[in-house]
Chains A and B, each alone.
Chain A
Amino acid sequence: MTDLQKEKKKEKGSDKIAINIQGVDFLYGENQVLFDVNLDILEKKVMAFIGPSGCGKSTLLRTLNRMNDLIEDSRISKGKILIQGTDIHDKSVDVIELRKRVGMVFQKSNPFPKSIYQNVAYGLHIQGIKNKRVVDQKVEESLTKAALWEEVKDRLNENAYGLSGGQQQRLCIARTLAVEPEIILMDEPCSALDPVATGRVEELILQLREQYTIVVVTHNMQQAGRISDETAFFYLGKLIEHDKTKTIFLNPSKKQTEDYISGKFG
């Protein structure tokens, strides 16, 4: 597999590796959920994780910015994850700094019960940025990037829960963008949204990949096909296959992948 990767690297020399996952085993207590996962995620591309429920794709995503630290008794027992050459699980790593650079958007849109403005400015406020001009500018910029500015610019001081579900999710993306991350992790960002709202978020993801490395976990294979450059297929905690999205969907090399994509199970 490594040979394959190297080959690909040669083909597209301009692609830099953003995240380098090396042989990761992950356990919740005694329960191993990831088995020897090796994966490179390329800079400024969209990587989609697909696979049936409980295959470990969300767990892998959450290890990328150490959100799994919150879960008691969970640990990486083998392997490491390198972001820009640094092992992010190393003791010397400041997890706050890591999370600033690796942002995350969750499955359920969960804006804070504050105003829209306050939501976007939250990340800046907790960093101690108080300058109103800077914050204002950042808020506008982030909302614009998240394609929400036009819709909310007149009601920035209203409660975020007055927004529709899709708008809320885009607000969460804007909130993440305001911290200026390099990588954005999205954990099934559209699973709670209707098709129209899903379409808006997908559009947004396509725009964002110009500037950010994006990793998306999705159950929706069509969605993976529409938005991702590369796709990784997980099954029972193992990375079965990963390749260019087109290749995975049209010409998968593994039988399991083909079965899953064609809807034989999952």
Chain B
Amino acid sequence: MSTRKKVSSNSFKTVLTKESVWERIAFSIMRFMTYFVLFCAGFLFWDIISKGSKKVFEGEGLINWEFLTDHPQTLHVIDQNGTKQKLSSTKYYLLKEEKISKKWETYIAQSKFSNQLADLSTGFDALAEATQPESIVSLQKNLLENESKSAMQKFDFWISLLNDPKLTAEDFEIRESEVIPMVSSFMKGFLSSESSRLKIIEKQLLIFKAEYFPIVSNPDLEKIAEIKLAYSDFLKKNLGLVSEHYLAKSKDLQTKAKDFLSKPTPKQLGDLVLVVEHFAEIRKIVIPDSEDFYWPMINQLLGEIQKVATVEIASKDYAYSGGGIFPAIVGTFLLVIGAMLIAIVLGVFCAIFLAEYGKSGRFLSTVRLAILNLAGVPSIIFGLFGFGLFVIFLEWNVSLIAGWFTLAIMVLPVVITASEESLRSIPQGFRESSLALGASKWTMIRTSVLPYAMPGILTSSILGVARVAGETAPIMFTAAYAKKTELPWENLEHWTDFFFQGVMALPYHIYVVSAKIPQNDYTADMQYGTAFVFLALVIIVASFSIILRNKLRKKYRW
């Protein structure tokens, strides 16, 4: 009883009204939403840091330097005695070479190898004998006969086709009017297949085709006869070319064979096999059905020896998952620095004009509206704009400078707005007293406005840095390469080439790696590792400008 009395006597007792209930509900929703945001941010950073650090801090030592300093490579995962070993391409091939040379060393010590070498030597000598220039003449005749025989047969077939379309119409179910187009397309196809077969005289054949093109596309009896004659002439004329090529190849083959026989190494063997393959190709044309006893022998012996010079290491390959991201780090760094320099210079000049010189009026409000609109344009549109203007129209191609300008224009609205704001925040008194001391307007701006506005301008540039570094869309078409092994300063013919080359960039690299399907643990590692490094880089660049800003702020305090 007494407590109840006490309560009722409390005139400050909280009463649940409708309003206070709503207030509580609203408050708890706000609280929940804030926690949700916190959770999202926490999850994002935790995700990237936990997964990314796996790549960045893996291996021996504190930091995986290979990841930070190497260029991107294919990852080869090999099974070595039950443990999986991850190797970048460079290391994988080194390992292979090592194994091959071991195998090679033991093999060439055997007597079997010296026998094989002796046999090879005989084979090559016999081949050299058979490809003397004198022996070519008869081969040429052979070639001419063979070639023209098949070609002439085809020409005769067409002539017969044109001669009696009605007859063929029954056979091919083709009406009269369709015979001519059929012949023309057939003829074109024939010339194309000839040019791919006779690689060495391909260019000449193309010229021939162009010359007789009107005939080919609209054939009749007389014209086909004409082209038949021309083609036979053409063959005769170009036969010399074929044999010349054949002789050159044979000479090449001889020197390579000599090199290998005198000092057999896996590398020399590889060279030799390549030349033999080339030679075999042309030999097939010059001597279509050669029956030299030594030729199969050479092939067989080389095959046997080649088996020794190959080692198979079973590996699963994952593109872009090995090596490092150094070129991408360098590229992003260059893109950010260049784009920010351009954006700050352009933006500050524009802001000075707007804040100090522009008379308020329609022009100025139009400019402001334009800048605001520019800020709302999606970044992919900037990418397309940069592609159209810088890459195509100005012919800068995919290059650093095109990326710089595209990114700079993208962040320009931010820089201009913030710079103008910070220029306007400089006390009018500084301007007035500067002018009263006999400064011209430009001197006034230069000495007593711009220096004090610089901290504010730098603050805006910090926001710009994060955006410039992070955007993928604008650089996709204008500056970024999916893979470029050379660093930007390597292999430059002229110093200006530096600006006209594409670079790798971290965000684009993340995109390229992420867009690879199917995903697997190795590419995911690469992806998160890159994201981690990327975040770290943005933080480093941003903190650099924050330090600079704070220094200036301390210097210019009022």
Q: Give the contacting residue for B439; candidates A67, A96, A110; CB below 8 A.
A: A96
Q: Give the contacting residue for A179; candidates B430, B438, B556; CB below 8 A.
A: B438
B360 within 8 A of A: yes
Tell me if A112 and B430 are in contact (CB < 8 A).
yes
- Among residues of B, the one whose C-beta sits closest to the C-beta of A110 is B429
Tell me if B452 and A113 are in contact (CB < 8 A).
yes
Tell me if B436 and A103 are in contact (CB < 8 A).
yes
Complex: A104 Cα to B437 Cα, angstroms: 8
- Among residues of B, the one whose C-beta sits closest to the C-beta of A125 is B447
A108 within 8 A of B: yes
Q: Give the contacting residue for B437; candidates A97, A113, A122; CB below 8 A.
A: A122
Complex: A179 Cα to B556 Cα, angstroms: 24
The minimal Cβ–Cβ distance linking B377 to chain A, given in whole angstroms, is 32
**A contact residues around B558 at 8 Å (CB):** 113, 161
Tell me if B436 and A72 are in contact (CB < 8 A).
no
The minimal Cβ–Cβ distance linking A193 to chain B, given in whole angstroms, is 15
Contact with B along A101-120 (1 / 0, CB 8 A): 00110101010111000000
The minimal Cβ–Cβ distance linking B433 to chain A, given in whole angstroms, is 5
B435 within 8 A of A: yes
**A contact residues around B360 at 8 Å (CB):** 72
A interface, size bucket: 20 to 34
B427 within 8 A of A: yes
Tell me if A172 and B359 are in contact (CB < 8 A).
no
Tell me if B447 and A122 are in contact (CB < 8 A).
yes
Knowing A67-B432, A106-B432, A108-B429, say if A113 contacts B556 (CB, 8 Å): yes
B443 within 8 A of A: yes
Complex: A161 Cα to B440 Cα, angstroms: 25
Complex: A115 Cα to B386 Cα, angstroms: 46
A74 within 8 A of B: no
**A contact residues around B440 at 8 Å (CB):** 96
B478 within 8 A of A: no
Residues from 109 to 160 in A contacting B, C-beta threshold 8 Å: 110, 112-114, 122-123, 125-127, 159
Contact with A along B412-438 (1 / 0, CB 8 A): 000000000000000101111111111
The minimal Cβ–Cβ distance linking A43 to chain B, given in whole angstroms, is 20
Tell me if A126 and B439 are in contact (CB < 8 A).
yes
Complex: A172 Cα to B436 Cα, angstroms: 11
B112 within 8 A of A: no
Complex: A65 Cα to B443 Cα, angstroms: 18
A80 within 8 A of B: no
Tell me if B433 and A175 are in contact (CB < 8 A).
yes
Complex: A112 Cα to B427 Cα, angstroms: 10
Tell me if B437 and A123 are in contact (CB < 8 A).
yes
**B contact residues around A99 at 8 Å (CB):** 435-438
A57 within 8 A of B: no
Complex: A114 Cα to B432 Cα, angstroms: 16
- Among residues of A, the one whose C-beta sits closest to the C-beta of B446 is A126
A176 within 8 A of B: yes
- Among residues of B, the one whose C-beta sits closest to the C-beta of A97 is B438
**B contact residues around A72 at 8 Å (CB):** 359-360
The minimal Cβ–Cβ distance linking A7 to chain B, given in whole angstroms, is 35
The total number of A-B Cβ pairs within 8 Å is 68
Tell me if A106 and B429 are in contact (CB < 8 A).
yes
A70 within 8 A of B: yes
Knowing A72-B359, A113-B557, say if A67 contacts B438 (CB, 8 Å): no
Tell me if A127 and B429 are in contact (CB < 8 A).
no
Residues from 419 to 473 in B contacting A, C-beta threshold 8 Å: 427, 429-440, 443, 447-448, 452
Tell me if B433 and A172 are in contact (CB < 8 A).
yes
Interface residue SS majority, chain B = helix
**A contact residues around B430 at 8 Å (CB):** 110, 112
A242 within 8 A of B: no
Tell me if A112 and B448 are in contact (CB < 8 A).
yes
Knowing A108-B429, A113-B452, say if A176 contacts B447 (CB, 8 Å): no
Knowing A72-B360, A126-B447, A161-B557, say if A175 contacts B452 (CB, 8 Å): no
The minimal Cβ–Cβ distance linking A65 to chain B, given in whole angstroms, is 7
Tell me if B433 and A159 are in contact (CB < 8 A).
no
- Among residues of B, the one whose C-beta sits closest to the C-beta of A172 is B433
Tell me if B452 and A127 are in contact (CB < 8 A).
no
**A contact residues around B431 at 8 Å (CB):** 70
Complex: A67 Cα to B432 Cα, angstroms: 8
The minimal Cβ–Cβ distance linking A159 to chain B, given in whole angstroms, is 7
- Among residues of A, the one whose C-beta sits closest to the C-beta of B359 is A72
Tell me if A100 and B452 are in contact (CB < 8 A).
no
The minimal Cβ–Cβ distance linking A16 to chain B, given in whole angstroms, is 24
**B contact residues around A67 at 8 Å (CB):** 432, 435-436
Complex: A96 Cα to B435 Cα, angstroms: 8
**B contact residues around A65 at 8 Å (CB):** 436
The minimal Cβ–Cβ distance linking B220 to chain A, given in whole angstroms, is 86
- Among residues of A, the one whose C-beta sits closest to the C-beta of B557 is A113
Residues from 40 to 69 in B contacting A, C-beta threshold 8 Å: none
The minimal Cβ–Cβ distance linking B356 to chain A, given in whole angstroms, is 11
Contact with A along B539-552 (1 / 0, CB 8 A): 00000000000000
- Among residues of A, the one whose C-beta sits closest to the C-beta of B426 is A113
**B contact residues around A161 at 8 Å (CB):** 557-558
- Among residues of A, the one whose C-beta sits closest to the C-beta of B447 is A126
**B contact residues around A114 at 8 Å (CB):** 556
The minimal Cβ–Cβ distance linking A149 to chain B, given in whole angstroms, is 19
Tell me if A175 and B437 are in contact (CB < 8 A).
yes
**A contact residues around B447 at 8 Å (CB):** 122, 125-126
**B contact residues around A96 at 8 Å (CB):** 438-440
Residues from 57 to 84 in B contacting A, C-beta threshold 8 Å: none
Tell me if A179 and B437 are in contact (CB < 8 A).
yes
Complex: A172 Cα to B434 Cα, angstroms: 11
Residues from 336 to 387 in B contacting A, C-beta threshold 8 Å: 359-360
**B contact residues around A179 at 8 Å (CB):** 437-438
Tell me if A159 and B557 are in contact (CB < 8 A).
yes
- Among residues of A, the one whose C-beta sits closest to the C-beta of B431 is A70
Tell me if B359 and A106 are in contact (CB < 8 A).
no
Tell me if A126 and B437 are in contact (CB < 8 A).
yes
Contact with B along A42-68 (1 / 0, CB 8 A): 000000000000000000000001010
The minimal Cβ–Cβ distance linking A61 to chain B, given in whole angstroms, is 11
Knowing A72-B360, A126-B447, say if A110 contacts B427 (CB, 8 Å): yes
**A contact residues around B437 at 8 Å (CB):** 99-100, 103, 122-123, 126, 175-176, 179
Tell me if A70 and B429 are in contact (CB < 8 A).
no
Tell me if A127 and B432 are in contact (CB < 8 A).
no
Can you list 21 A-B contacts (CB < 8 A)? Answer: A70-B431, A70-B435, A96-B440, A99-B435, A99-B438, A100-B438, A103-B437, A104-B432, A104-B433, A106-B433, A110-B430, A110-B433, A113-B558, A123-B437, A123-B438, A125-B447, A126-B434, A161-B558, A175-B437, A176-B436, A179-B437
15 A-B pairs besides A70-B431, A104-B436, A159-B557 with CB distance below 8 A are A67-B435, A67-B436, A70-B435, A99-B436, A110-B427, A110-B430, A110-B433, A112-B434, A113-B556, A113-B557, A123-B437, A125-B447, A126-B443, A126-B447, A161-B558
Q: Which 6 A-B pairs have the closest CB atoms?
A: A110-B429, A100-B438, A104-B436, A123-B437, A113-B558, A113-B556
- Measuring CB to CB, which residues of chain B are less than 8 angstroms from any residue of chain A? 359-360, 427, 429-440, 443, 447-448, 452, 555-558
